[in-house]
Chains A and B, each alone.
Chain A
Amino acid sequence: MDFEHESDDPFRDDEDDPDAHLSLEKESTKEYVVYLVDASPKMFTSTCPASADDQKEESHFHIALSCISQSLKNQIINRSYDELAICFFNTREKRNIQELSGVFVFNVPERDYLDRPTARLIKEFDRIEESFAKDIGSQHGIVPGTRENSLYNAIWVAQALLRKGSAKTVDKRVLLFTNEDDPFGCIKGAIKSDMKRMTLQRAKDAQDLGISIELLPLSHPSDPFNVSQFYAELIGLEEDELADFMPSSGNKLEDMKDQLRKRMFKKRIVKKLKFIIVDGISIELNSYALIRPTVPGAITWLDSVTNQPLKSERTFICADTGALVEESTKRFHPYKNQNIVFSTKELSEIKRFSTGHLHLLGFKPLSCLRDYYNLKPSTFLYPSDEAMDGSICIFIALHRSMIQLKRFAVAFYGGSSRPQLVALIAQDEIIQSGGQIEPPGMHMISLPYSDDIRLVEERHSEKVGMVTRASNDQIKKAADVIKRIDLKDFSICQFANPGLQRHYAVLQALALEEDEIPEIKDETLPDEEGLARPGVVKALEEFKTSVYGENYDEECEANAKPSEASKKRKAQAEVATKECENYDWGELADTGKLKDLTVVELKYYLTAHNLPVSGKKEALVSRILTHMKK
């Protein structure tokens, strides 16, 4: 995952990249989201108990905003073509196209209400709480005596915002954040049922237009959110789903944030697969990419004068005649002094097996799945009864048996880019503090072929008769170290990628024309304090002594026998220093004659001054000039 490398080469041949077309498929559907946030006074007064060690409580309103803010930052990076609007209801001020009261659409200049996220939107949204009371104001919109219905208005505004785009190509969603489970609680009698009915019809109308309304309820342990009061009907929950809908109440702030965050994701199917188990029994699976490296977006070349994007044009030139040619459908490979020509059709024929299908070959015990059988991120499989009734049932039966018998399945996946053997590991559902940590299903892991595995260890078996096994005492000392430096609750999600964080911090600062680039905390550094604890230091010291002996000094060993290569390097540096003295660099530079020297000569200077010697001649010259401060 080397950023520079990948971004430097925007025209990388994607032919061999199996995920290239997958991601394309994935991005083809856009998403329009309206964040509908309840801004009634209750959202400000209700709080959530913070984690045990931090007694600060946070209001529901704040939690909702921080979730949205996080999601925006994520979106501008990953899915910047998706559009969104942020809309508050139960507000004092109003701002919306329909001029409905109690609804306020938050926005920044140079942006439509429903539009792509901009750096400015993110920045101002982060500060909205400071000015909220002044500019927007909180005011409960549904009060007896008036026929005002702020929730109705809010859904209507959201629906109007989502008017553009066809429901076929765009996912339209409304994410509703509220902590009021009974919005018409203060109204009585016929008016209440009337308002309720109207609101439900409004929601239904929106849903009929292909807009999905999703509820993100906020609750307090002492006052759980009761979905069945009103919202179950609004979002269309069934009786038996109610129990599952609400996360266990009494959860901590962090858990609530976590769950809200997960619900804000839209699941995207990468591919639908047919899994052939035995002849005549094939079930349907959906595949999902749960783990994929996030990389900074591709670069766009700009004109450095106007900062306008450039169009790249590709031309094909025949190397023999210099003539412009059409993109050729023929490829060739030199072999035995001749060029063997293939048509692209023949090439895809070579790669074609049972296209797109997963074919079960058998099962093996989990212990057969060695740690080095890995090439790329896994893909998650979950069954679907959509086209084949009974798929889920068969999948569950196999899943359960595989977990019980501690076995994984070996299958052949005839994907178009790289047909390969895969391991299917059944993963049981893991639930922690009310949230799903690992979903139930199977993970598909690509297995290497023999040509992909290198026999490195055996190449290091040269020395015959050398002691290579640690003694029991040494193992015991190592065990002490392991016990001391134990990461108890390690989880893969705990580290943010510092390179990526930095990348976006820089972009955000530049986009907003800020001078300061915020410092990013690198969470991946070792815990130095922890390592300096006496117990740890002692265990390490003892381990070191048992392996390396007393008074061991690494420097000593390193200096004692400089390698062949380093000797050579040293000798070269000496030669270079000597040669370097033969030139009057200052004068050569002043008269612009550096470029007349050979690369070898230029390198004398660079080597003598300990500078990198890589790059083209111009690079070398400019490096020398920079070094001489000219």
Chain B
Amino acid sequence: MARNKEALVLLLDVGPSMHSVIPEIEKVCSMLVEKKLIFTKYDEVGVVLFGTEDTDNELTEEVGGYQHVVVLKNIKVVEGDIVEALQQLPRGATHGDFLDAIIVGMDMLIKKFGETNKGKKRLCLITNAQCPIKEPFEGTKEEQVTTIAKQMTVHGMRMESIILRGKLSQDANKKIMDENDQLLRIFSTETSARSTYVENPVSLLGALRTRNITPSTIFKGDLELSPKLKIKVLVYKKTAEEKFPTLKKFSDKAASTDKFATHEVKVDYEYKSSQEPDKVVPPDQRIKGYRYGPQIVPISQAEWDAVKFKPEKGLKLLGFTDSSNVLRHQYMKDVNVFIAETGNTKATLALSSLARAMKEMNKVAILRCVWRHGQANVVIGVLTPNLSDKENIPDSLYFNALPFAEDVREFQFPSFSNFPAPIQPNEQQLEAAANLVKMLDLAPQGKEEVLLPDFTPNPVLERFYRYLELKSKHADAAVPPLDDTLKKITEPDDELLQQNKSVIENFRRSFELKENPRHKKSRRLLREERYGSGEENSKGEIPALASNLIEDKSNVEVDNIGDLTPVQDFEAMFARRDNPDWVVKAIDAMKNKIHDLIEDSHEGDNNSKALECLAALRKGCINEQEPKQFNSFLRDIWSFCQEKNLHDFCDSLSSKGITLIPKSEAADSEVTEDEARSFLVKSQPKV
């Protein structure tokens, strides 16, 4: 732990032009210290402010000068009070000189550590570099900066500068800023320093690495282009998900007075045989088994080791291919970076020439990797060039794992061009969409890319660590809402939306979204089944659409009788065999329909339809041996018509020959043939 301990001095500009961003600086700096308290609690931190009214530093006492620089916290092992101090930074009143602050910071580090702790001493400058630095007593500013940078190298210090620009630095003097940029660039070339320019509060939160992870190689050795040509490389992780911290289970069993209680919960696993649930099987009596269908195949570690796939450690080139042969979405995992062995010029050049040639020719390399000895599988992956634009950073290659044949599920989806015209966007809609894609621009020309992953903090972790700090003071504090800066990550930026109001409005007007009325639970399931099978069968199947209700009905399982095609609906319901209730349901529904039709009929305009339905119902009832149902219904309808004086309907009944169902047509009927016939005759005199 102590081996990697880092000493960091934060140099924070708190001058008047910085006031608007100080809240963000407070957040990011306190987060940095909070994480140190958890992950690297032996790290040391000091805080220097500049642009303050006061002056308080050792150099001013020793040699004079260095005005308006205050050492807020001397370098010490991280503690809670540093977090608190950083959460309430004072607002300064004067223009600060960042070079003075750098020198004060260096002085602190040198006094504390001298020559020791090389490479673990870090300065972190946050400023908008809007104020000119003082003219040196002798020589030029450039010479002065160069000298300081050289001193940094000698003492093994690193510097990280975060410079606020764009929206974060309004009406500033461009000439001064350019001069300062020039001076800060000297640091980058002369010593190991990094300058980051940020233009919005989100990237300020993300720009400062709050957790310092020393990278370790996952592979060190040869990249084999062929058995005869090997390049010495180091492979590191380029991305690795920073996980939500693992929290321990809490036990409140210990007495509250017990100061040494760990409150931990131990989890014990016991294996018990299924026959004798009380018997615990000790570890040496256990054997691993793998499922193979219903069988479980037992296999001991030794057996397994003897037969398992044992690839040889190494990285082997399979070949190069057009970059279009590997699609971006095929990348499988986090990313590795291939760097030439440190100090190996030849290897650096070899990688550089490969990377540059690949870039020029638009090629990628396919690799077979076994990172470790004893690894049970191989990884196939793609190398893509990463050309460096900085003189002192060598070119490298990125490695992404690719899927094996087993990992790919080749589902088929309908072509968009196969959707029917009403579903396709028209010219105007396409234009509205194109405008939206163009105008909702997160990477506008000449401005900083918004939400650049490299500068975007993880809102969940931010929230967690802030809550942790809050809870350390108020144990029952509620989870704070997401602050406005972090909301810019999870929600669209209001400013961007305002700027493009007309484009968005136009987009909204161009398209029509309708809650699908057919979206009922039962129906959905059925439709899904139909779609599922349909799409398997044909890559270009067209889902049924509301555009044509009649056609739709014939496709979709019918569970009620509609207005348009009652007869077809009725037959469809009758034909359903998944549940015998459908017949009864269909008959009832049809009865209601007929009743409605007759009742709503205006001067007999529904009569023909009602008759069709009645005929269908009659036929159905004969087929399904339900004559009673029909006969009683016909009698009801009859009397209903008599009551309402709907005589023309009764007339048409007889003309169509719709009678009661006699015994001769359905065995269950209690109506004789004569009776059936006389039912019609009965009507005649009444006309």
B513/A390 in contact, CB under 8 A: yes
Mask: chain A, 253-286; 1 = CB below 8 Å from B; 0 = not: 0000000011101110000000001111111000
Which chain B residues in 510-531 approach chain A with CB under 8 Å?
511-516, 519, 524-525, 527-530
Check A291 for interface membership: any CB of B closer than 8 A. Answer: yes
B432/A453 in contact, CB under 8 A: no
Check B87 for interface membership: any CB of A closer than 8 A. Answer: no
B353/A547 in contact, CB under 8 A: yes
A526/B244 in contact, CB under 8 A: no
B145 CB, min distance to chain A CBs, angstroms? 16
| Cβ-closest chain A residue relative to B451 | A410
| Cβ-closest chain B residue relative to A337 | B80
Known: A237-B537, A475-B353. A308 touches B274 (CB 8 A): yes
Chain B residues within an 8 Å CB radius of A204: 575, 577
Check B348 for interface membership: any CB of A closer than 8 A. Answer: yes
B207/A460 in contact, CB under 8 A: no
B321/A385 in contact, CB under 8 A: no
Check A190 for interface membership: any CB of B closer than 8 A. Answer: no
Known: A318-B253, A371-B398. A300 touches B515 (CB 8 A): no
| Cβ-closest chain A residue relative to B470 | A340
B317/A511 in contact, CB under 8 A: no
A456/B339 in contact, CB under 8 A: yes
Which of the 9-residue segments A91-99, A131-139, A487-495, A574-582 touches chain B? A487-495
Which of the 9-residue segments B68-76, B130-138, B306-314, B649-657 touches chain A? B306-314
A71 CB, min distance to chain B CBs, angstroms? 13
Chain B residues within an 8 Å CB radius of A263: 412, 536-537
B468/A335 in contact, CB under 8 A: yes
User: Number of contacts between A and B (CB, 8 Å)?
Assistant: 750
Chain A residues within an 8 Å CB radius of B410: 261-262, 265, 290, 493
Check B637 for interface membership: any CB of A closer than 8 A. Answer: no
Q: How many angstroms from the CA of A341 to the CA of B416 in the assembled complex?
A: 52
Known: A498-B377, A498-B378. A454 touches B298 (CB 8 A): no
Chain A residues within an 8 Å CB radius of B349: 467-470, 474, 547
A209 CB, min distance to chain B CBs, angstroms? 5
Q: How many angstroms from the CA of A481 to the CA of B354 in the assembled complex?
A: 9
Chain B residues within an 8 Å CB radius of A483: 361
Interface residue count on the A side (C-beta < 8 Å): 245
Q: How many angstroms from the CA of A449 to the CA of B463 in the assembled complex?
A: 14
Q: How many angstroms from the CA of A63 to the CA of B575 in the assembled complex?
A: 37
B206/A319 in contact, CB under 8 A: no
A468/B409 in contact, CB under 8 A: no
Chain B residues within an 8 Å CB radius of A299: 288-290
Which chain B residues in 257-271 approach chain A with CB under 8 Å?
258, 261-271
A390/B512 in contact, CB under 8 A: yes
Q: How many angstroms from the CA of A306 to the CA of B281 in the assembled complex?
A: 11
Mask: chain A, 338-359; 1 = CB below 8 Å from B; 0 = not: 1111100011011101100001
Which chain B residues in 460-517 approach chain A with CB under 8 Å?
460-461, 463-464, 467-469, 471-472, 475, 479, 482, 489-493, 496-497, 504, 507-508, 511-516
Which chain A residues in 527-549 approach chain B with CB under 8 Å?
527-528, 530-531, 536-537, 540-541, 543-544, 546-549
Which chain B residues in 221-245 approach chain A with CB under 8 Å?
225-230, 236-245
B286/A304 in contact, CB under 8 A: yes
A394/B337 in contact, CB under 8 A: no
Known: A369-B328, A445-B329, A527-B318. A397 touches B285 (CB 8 A): no
Chain B residues within an 8 Å CB radius of A536: 226
Chain A interface main SS type:
mixed
Chain A residues within an 8 Å CB radius of B294: 80, 115-116, 118
Q: How many angstroms from the CA of A409 to the CA of B356 in the assembled complex?
A: 29
Known: A331-B248, A547-B353. A241 touches B398 (CB 8 A): no
Known: A328-B250, A540-B226. A80 touches B413 (CB 8 A): no
Check B330 for interface membership: any CB of A closer than 8 A. Answer: yes
Known: A328-B249, A388-B513, A496-B406. A372 touches B238 (CB 8 A): yes
B321/A390 in contact, CB under 8 A: no
Known: A2-B375, A450-B207. A511 touches B297 (CB 8 A): yes
A310/B402 in contact, CB under 8 A: no
B270/A313 in contact, CB under 8 A: yes
Q: How many angstroms from the CA of A466 to the CA of B465 in the assembled complex?
A: 41
Q: Which of A328, A371, A477 contacts B386 (CB 8 A)?
A: A371
Known: A363-B437, A461-B393, A467-B349. A436 touches B293 (CB 8 A): no
Check B415 for interface membership: any CB of A closer than 8 A. Answer: yes
Which of the 9-residue segments A35-43, A412-420, A600-608 touches chain B? A412-420
Check A584 for interface membership: any CB of B closer than 8 A. Answer: no
Q: How many angstroms from the CA of A378 to the CA of B333 in the assembled complex?
A: 9
A1/B401 in contact, CB under 8 A: yes
Q: Which of B242, B267, B320 contacts A451 (CB 8 A)?
A: B242
Known: A323-B253, A335-B468, A470-B353. A459 touches B215 (CB 8 A): yes
Known: A347-B247, A393-B424, A398-B437. A386 touches B430 (CB 8 A): no
A333 CB, min distance to chain B CBs, angstroms? 5
A524/B442 in contact, CB under 8 A: no
Known: A336-B472, A377-B403, A456-B337. A498 touches B311 (CB 8 A): yes
A302/B331 in contact, CB under 8 A: no
| Cβ-closest chain A residue relative to B411 | A267
Known: A266-B532, A318-B253, A405-B434. A547 touches B346 (CB 8 A): yes
Chain A residues within an 8 Å CB radius of B93: none
Chain A residues within an 8 Å CB radius of B467: 346, 350
Mask: chain B, 334-356; 1 = CB below 8 Å from A; 0 = not: 11010100110110111011101
B456/A421 in contact, CB under 8 A: yes
B361/A495 in contact, CB under 8 A: no
Q: How many angstroms from the CA of A172 to the CA of B408 in the assembled complex?
A: 23
Q: How many angstroms from the CA of A346 to the CA of B453 in the assembled complex?
A: 27
Which chain A residues in 370-389 approach chain B with CB under 8 Å?
370-378, 380, 382, 385-389
Q: Which of B247, B330, B533 contacts A342 (CB 8 A)?
A: B247
Chain B residues within an 8 Å CB radius of A421: 451, 453, 456, 489
Q: Which of B298, B391, B468 contacts A333 (CB 8 A)?
A: B468
B222 CB, min distance to chain A CBs, angstroms? 8
A385 CB, min distance to chain B CBs, angstroms? 7
Which of the 9-residue segments A45-53, A145-153, A500-508 touches chain B? A500-508
Which chain A residues in 226-242 approach chain B with CB under 8 Å?
235-238, 240-241
Chain B residues within an 8 Å CB radius of A543: 229, 350, 353
Which chain A residues in 518-577 approach chain B with CB under 8 Å?
520, 522, 524-528, 530-531, 536-537, 540-541, 543-544, 546-549, 552, 554
21 A-B interface contacts by CB (under 8 A): A1-B377, A263-B412, A296-B290, A314-B269, A317-B267, A342-B471, A349-B479, A353-B482, A363-B437, A369-B328, A398-B436, A400-B425, A401-B436, A445-B328, A450-B454, A460-B342, A461-B393, A464-B190, A468-B388, A478-B358, A522-B378
Q: Can you add 15 more A-B contacts, CB < 8 Å, to A312-B270, A314-B267, A394-B511?
A: A265-B409, A283-B513, A294-B404, A300-B291, A302-B286, A332-B247, A336-B37, A336-B472, A359-B490, A372-B335, A380-B329, A400-B430, A425-B328, A449-B457, A526-B368
